[in-house]
C-alpha cells in the first residue's frame, strides 16, 4: 500500500478531503471570523466527509483521518507542557499543527505498514518455472504508442487472457502507474479479478456476458460490449443503468451489430437504461498494409465512419469511438479514434516472427519464461527418450530434463527437434515429445550443465534470444496463442533489470 499504488489524480483530492475532516474538529478560522469558520466546518468540511469515504482506500488520507484525534491530544499536550498556549488559542495555528502532525504520522504509518507487508509477502518462487516481467520494456512500449497516437487518443490496453499470459493484475498495476486508466478484457470474470485487486479506471468487457452477470457488471463498474441489437434489448430490459460500448460489425462478422443497420444502432443509443460510453469496430485484416487486406481495412473503416456520420445527421451525439488494435495502430495510424485497444504489441512482440523482427527496434519483449534443469543423464545408442518411442538415439548423448511441460505453456508441437531452449547461452534442442510437466533436451554440446541450472524458454541467454514469435513459428501458430496459453503454474514477477 504504497502511495504510488493509487491513481495520481485522486491523491491530492483524498488528502484534501481528509484535511477538511481535521478542520471539523479544530475550527481553523474561528478566531478570524465565526461565520467563515462555520461555513468551513459545517458546510464545506461536512460535504467532504461522504466524498472522502467514497474515495477512501488511499492509505495516507485514511491515516490522517484515523490519527488526527490523537494529534489533537498531542498538540494540547505540547501546548500545556511547553506553556505555548497560542498553539491552541490561535485557531488557525492549532489547525495547522494538528494537520501537519496528522500528515506526518500518516506517512510514517504508511511506510511502516508497507515494510511489514513486504516482509510478509512470499518470496518470488524461481524453483521450477517462472516468468519475469521487464517493467522498463513495458514502459518503452507504452511510450512508443503514446508517441505514435495523437494526443487525444487514449490507450485501452487489452489485458484479456491473463494479459496474454503476463499476469493481468501485475500488468494492470504497472500500466496504472504509467497513467493508463482504461483497459479491455474478454469476459466478466477477468474484469472482476482486476477490480478485486484494486484496479481503477474503465474496464470494458469485449465479449458476451450472460444476463445472470448483469448485476455484477453494475457492482464492479464494468462496461459491457453491446454485441448486437437483440443483446442491447436484453441489457436494456434489465431495467437498471449499465455502461456500454456498442460494437459495430464492419466485415469480420464476429461480434457487433451490422454497420448497414443504422436504424437499429441509433435505437440502441436511445435505449433508456444504456449509458453509451463508446462505439467501436474491430479490423480483421489490418496485419497487412497492402493488397486486398488494405482495401478491406479501408472498407471496414468507411463502413464504421458512415455509421458515425449518419448519427451526426440525425442529431444523435457520437460517443467516443475506437477501431484500432495493435496492427491498426502500426499499419493504419490515420484510423486513430478516441481509444486504441492495443494488445499483443504492448507486450513487445507481434503475431508473426517476421512482423516482430520488423518492429524489434521500437517494441521490446516484456516477458521471459524460464525453467530449471531438473536432472542430467547419459542416453546410449539405441535407447529412447520420452513417451511413445518417438525418439531413439544412434549415439551417446547427454540429456537434460527440464521442469516445464505443455501444461506450463510449452507447446507439444515443439517435440523432437521442433523447438529448443537456451542453457548457458547455448541452444539445446528438444528430444522426444514434450510431456505435461517435463521436457527433455539435448545438452551434449554444452559443457558443465548442472541440475538447477536455468533454461531460458522465452528470453535472452548469453548473446542469444528466443522470442515468443520464434516459438509460434516453430509450433505453427501465432505469438498471441503461445503467450495466452502459458499456464497458471509459473509465478510472475517484475524483474529489476
Ligand atoms: C483482443 C482484442 C484486441 C487486442 O488485439 P491485439 O491484436 O492483441 O492488439 C482489440 N480489440 C478486440 C475486440 C479484441 O478482441
DSSP string, 436-453: SS-EEEE-TT-TT--TT-
Q: Are 23 and 41 in contact (CB under 8 A)?
A: yes
Does the pLDDT of residue 2 top 60, yes or no? no
Q: Is 341 helix (H, G, I), strand (E, B) or coil?
A: coil
Q: Report DSSP state, residue 367.
A: E
Task: Give the up-direction half-sphere exposure of residue 47: CA atoms within 13 A in the CB hemisphere.
Answer: 5
Distance CA 441, CA 376 (A): 10
Average confidence score pLDDT of the chain: 93
> From the CA of 341, how far away is ligand 1's center (Å)?
6
Pick from 73-87, 195-209, 398-412, 454-468: least confident: 73-87
Q: Confidence class of residue 57 from pLDDT cuts 50, 70 and 90? A: low
160 is catalytic: yes
110 φψ region: left (φ > 0), alpha (ψ -120 to 50), beta (else): alpha
Which residues' Cβ are closer than 6 Å to ligand 1?
158, 160, 206, 282, 325-326, 341-345, 480
Cβ atoms < 10 Å from Cβ of 463? 7
- Nearest-atom index, ligand 1, CA of 255: 13
Distance CA 458, CA 370 (A): 7
Distance CA 140, CA 157 (A): 14
Q: Confidence class of residue 465 from pLDDT cuts 50, 70 and 90? A: very high
> From the CA of 443, how far away is ligand 1's center (Å)?
39
pLDDT of residue 59: 72
Pick from 36-45, 126-135, 378-387: least confident: 36-45
The terminus-to-terminus CA distance of the chain in angstroms comes to 23
Q: Are 187 and 204 in contact (CB under 8 A)?
A: no
- Nearest-atom index, ligand 1, CA of 164: 8
Distance CA 268, CA 291 (A): 35
Reported as type and span, the H/E element at residue 54 is helix 45-54
11-45 pLDDT, tens digit each: 677 778 788 888 888 888 888 888 888 888 888 88
Query: Which burial class, exposed, middle or buried, applies to 486 when counting CB atoms under 10 A from its CB (0-12, 13-18, 19+)?
Result: buried
pLDDT of residue 50: 65
229-280 pLDDT, tens digit each: 999 999 999 999 999 999 999 999 999 999 999 999 999 999 999 999 999 9
pLDDT of residue 412: 98
The percent helix, strand, coil of the chain (3-state, each to 5) is 45, 20, 35
387 is catalytic: yes
134-179 pLDDT, tens digit each: 999 999 999 999 999 999 999 999 999 999 999 999 999 999 999 9
**Ligand 1 pocket check: which of 184, 223, 249, 359 to mutate, most ligand atoms within 8 Å of Cβ?**
184
pLDDT of residue 438: 98
Q: Phi and psi for 454 in degrees, rounded to 5?
A: -85, 135
Helices then strands, each counted (H, E), the chain: 18, 18
* β-strands 274-281, 321-322 pairing: parallel
Does the pLDDT of residue 3 top 60, yes or no? no
Q: Confidence class of residue 48 from pLDDT cuts 50, 70 and 90? A: confident
> From the CA of 184, how far away is ligand 1's center (Å)?
9
pLDDT of residue 4: 39
pLDDT of residue 265: 98
Query: Which burial class, exposed, middle or buried, applies to 156 when counting CB atoms under 10 A from its CB (0-12, 13-18, 19+)?
Result: buried
Q: Confidence class of residue 58 from pLDDT cuts 50, 70 and 90? A: low
Residue of the nearest CA to atom 15 in ligand 1? 206
Q: Is 142 helix (H, G, I), strand (E, B) or coil?
A: helix
Mean pLDDT for 461-485 is: 98
pLDDT of residue 8: 41
- Nearest-atom index, ligand 1, CA of 344: 8
Strands of 165-210 (E only): list them.
Answer: 182-185, 202-205
**Ligand 1 pocket check: which of 329, 343, 482, 483 to mutate, most ligand atoms within 8 Å of Cβ?**
343
Distance CA 94, CA 75 (A): 8
Query: Which burial class, exposed, middle or buried, applies to 89 when counting CB atoms under 10 A from its CB (0-12, 13-18, 19+)?
Result: exposed
> From the CA of 286, how far away is ligand 1's center (Å)?
11
Whole-prediction pTM = 0.80
Amino acid at each position: 500500500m504504497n502511495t504510488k499504488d493509487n491513481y495520481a489524480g485522486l491523491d491530492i483530492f483524498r488528502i484534501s478531503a481528509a484535511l477538511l475532516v481535521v478542520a471539523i474538529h479544530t475550527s481553523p478560522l474561528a478566531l478570524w471570523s465565526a461565520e467563515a469558520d462555520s461555513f468551513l466546518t459545517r458546510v464545506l468540511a461536512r460535504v467532504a466527509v461522504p466524498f472522502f469515504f467514497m474515495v477512501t482506500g488511499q492509505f495516507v488520507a485514511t491515516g490522517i483521518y484515523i490519527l488526527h484525534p490523537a494529534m489533537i491530544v498531542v498538540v494540547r499536550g505540547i501546548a500545556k507542557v511547553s506553556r505555548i498556549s497560542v498553539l491552541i488559542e490561535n485557531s488557525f495555528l492549532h489547525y495547522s499543527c494538528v494537520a501537519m502532525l496528522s500528515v506526518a504520522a500518516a506517512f510514517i504509518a504508511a511506510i511502516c505498514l508497507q515494510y511489514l507487508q513486504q516482509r510478509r509477502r512470499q518470496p518470488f518462487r524461481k524453483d521450477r518455472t517462472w516468468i519475469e516481467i521487464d517493467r522498463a520494456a513495458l514502459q518503452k512500449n507504452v511510450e512508443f504508442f503514446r508517441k505514435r497516437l495523437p494526443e487525444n487518443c487514449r490507450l485501452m490496453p487489452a489485458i484479456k487472457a491473463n494479459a496474454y499470459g503476463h499476469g493481468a493484475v501485475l500488468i494492470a498495476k504497472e500500466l496504472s502507474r504509467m497513467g493508463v486508466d482504461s483497459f479491455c478484457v474478454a469476459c466478466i470474470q477477468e474484469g472482476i479479478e482486476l477490480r478485486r485487486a484494486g484496479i481503477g479506471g474503465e474496464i470494458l468487457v469485449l465479449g458476451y456476458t450472460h444476463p445472470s452477470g448483469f448485476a455484477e457488471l453494475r457492482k464492479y463498474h464494468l462496461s459491457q460490449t453491446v454485441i448486437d441489437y437483440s443483446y442491447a434489448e436484453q441489457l436494456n430490459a434489465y431495467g437498471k443503468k449499465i455502461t456500454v460500448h456498442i460494437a459495430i460489425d464492419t466485415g469480420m462478422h464476429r461480434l457487433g451489430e451490422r454497420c448497414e443497420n443504422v436504424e437499429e444502432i441509433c435505437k440502441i443509443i436511445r435505449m433508456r437504461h444504456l449509458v453509451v460510453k463508446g462505439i467501436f469496430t474491430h479490423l480483421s485484416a489490418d496485419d497487412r498494409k497492402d493488397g486486398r487486406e488494405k482495401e478491406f481495412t479501408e472498407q471496414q473503416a468507411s463502413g464504421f465512419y458512415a455509421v458515425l456520420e449518419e448519427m451526426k445527421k440525425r442529431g444523435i451525439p457520437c460517443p467516443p469511438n475506437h477501431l484500432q488494435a495493435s496492427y491498426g495502430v502500426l499499419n493504419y495510424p490515420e484510423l486513430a479514434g478516441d481509444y486504441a485497444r492495443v494488445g499483443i504489441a504492448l507486450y513487445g512482440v507481434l503475431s508473426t516472427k517476421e512482423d516482430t523482427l520488423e518492429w524489434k527496434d521500437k517494441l521490446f519483449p516484456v516477458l521471459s519464461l524460464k525453467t530449471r534443469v531438473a536432472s542430467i543423464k547419459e542416453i546410449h545408442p539405441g535407447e529412447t527418450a520420452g513417451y511413445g518411442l518417438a525418439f531413439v538415439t544412434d549415439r551417446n548423448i547427454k540429456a537434460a530434463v527440464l521442469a516445464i511441460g505443455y501444461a506450463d505453456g510449452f507447446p507439444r508441437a515443439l517435440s523432437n527437434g521442433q523447438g529448443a531452449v537456451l542453457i548457458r547461452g547455448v541452444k539445446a534442442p528438444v528430444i522426444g515429445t514434450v510431456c505435461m510437466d517435463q521436457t527433455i533436451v539435448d545438452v551434449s554440446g554444452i559443457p558443465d550443465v548442472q541440475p538447477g541450472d536455468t533454461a531460458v524458454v522465452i528470453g535472452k541467454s548469453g548473446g542469444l534470444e528466443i522470442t515468443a514469435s520464434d516459438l509460434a513459428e516453430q509450433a505453427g501458430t501465432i505469438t498471441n496463442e503461445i503467450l495466452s496459453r502459458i499456464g497458471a503454474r509459473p509465478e510472475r514477477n517484475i524483474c529489476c533489470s
